[in-house]
Amino acid sequence: MSQARQARVRALAHDYPSGHHLPAHAHTTAQLVFAAAGVMTVQTPDGAWTVPPNRAVWVPRRVRHSIRMFGAVAMRTLYLPPEMLPGRMPARCTVLEVSPLLREIVLVAVARGGLRRGSRADENLLRVLLDELRPLAGATASAPFLPLPRDPRALRV
């Protein structure tokens, strides 16, 4: 069986130049978007979230979002299947503080190419990762968030 099929949490690392834009897209899994360096803005039809290096954005599965880079960005992201998530996770994007522990877990997961079933070390990292994400369960508010206008005239501007 390939390593990709064994992966429980997929991970991606990509460095982007300033001004780079990832067009609107969605995933079948939830996504934790983190910039180890640089600043990103994650935008959905609901609004935009600014993501400096000490924060991450939780993007629920199937939420269409685009990402714009401000300065050179070292994006590190994890993709988590819904069956492994703790409690009721937010249905819209939410910003969370990235503790030093969460930062290191993300970086290690990316360096390992994800967290895999059957690996004791990866299973342990996964448990701590889920503990770090637990405050998101039931979360409703998120800052820094800028709602987008609903009036079509304002959207054109």
pLDDT band at 84 (very low <50, low <70, confident <90, very high): confident
Kindly compute the dihedral angle of the four CA atoms of residues 40, 30, 12, 120, in this order, to the nearest 10 degrees: 130
Given a cut of 60, whether residue 145 has pLDDT beyond it is no
Q: Select from 123, 94, 124 the least CA-distant residue to 32.
A: 94
Per-residue pLDDT tens for 59-70? Answer: 999 999 999 999
- The residue ranking higher by pLDDT, 10 or 46, is 10
- What average pLDDT does range 16-37 have in this prediction? 96
The amino acid occupying position 9 is V
Q: Select from 55, 63, 4 the least CA-distant residue to 33.
A: 55
Average pLDDT, the chain: 86
6-10, 104-108, 143-147: which range is least confident on average?
143-147
For 96, the token pair is 């969370």
Strand partners for 131: none
Name the 3-class secondary structure at 120: helix
pLDDT band at 2 (very low <50, low <70, confident <90, very high): very low
Q: What is the distance between the alpha carbons of residues 17 and 74, in angstroms, rounded to a whole number?
A: 9
Per-residue pLDDT tens for 99-125? Answer: 999 999 999 999 999 998 888 999 999
**C-alpha 102: how far from its chain's center?**
12
Residues above pLDDT 90, as percent of the chain:
59
Q: Select from 107, 129, 103, 125 the least CA-distant residue to 116.
A: 125
Question: Are 53 and 36 within 8 A, CB to CB?
Answer: yes
Flag whether the pTM goes above 0.75: yes
How wide is the angle at C-alpha 111 spanned by C-alphas 43 and 69, nearest 5°? Answer: 25
- What average pLDDT does range 126-135 have in this prediction? 90
Q: What is the distance between the alpha carbons of residues 99 and 31, in angstroms, rounded to a whole number?
A: 17
